[in-house]
Amino acid sequence: MVSEYRLKRRVQFYETDSAGIVHFSWFYRYMEEAEHALWREAGLSILEPVPEVGFPRVSASFDFKSPLRFEDVFELHLTIAEIRAKTIRYKALVTLDDATVATGSLTVACVSRIPGQPMRAIPIPSSIAGRFQSATEDPPSGP
């Protein structure tokens, strides 16, 4: 079961503003990039592990401590903070040389994606939920 992923990445020029500082919107993209990598680590894809199920974002936030700049190599540590019946909540920590740059969170809801019907929250299928655990849970013990 997967509970975390560490993304190491270099800031690209197009991610910065005219002052050479990463635009705040890119932090959300970095977090989503790490989320997708976490799902791949679990052997899944967030797009269509179950075709009639989707995972829209219902909450996202960041608090910024210091800037990232062009060519910085940073790390984003994404952990599953909580798994509930219908939602997954992630925590993100962005660091540069072990100093905190930003902290964030992202909550996704499991919804039905049936053509012609409105989305509605549904329980996360066990085939998906069984691949993850919250970072605060103890891993299952072996025999």
List residues with catalytic annotation: 17
Tokens of 16: 């910065």
Bridge partners, residue 106, by sequence: 60, 90
83 close to 132: Cβ distance less than 8 angstroms: yes
Q: Report the distance separating Cα 53 and Cα 118, nearest Å.
A: 12
Dihedral, CA of residue 34, residue 38, residue 43 and residue 44, to nearest 10: -70
Tokens of 123: 């329980």
- Alpha helices (runs of H) in 1-143, residue ranges in sequence order: 25-41, 126-129
20 φ/ψ sector (left φ>0, alpha ψ -120 to 50, else beta) = left
Tokens of 67: 């800037």
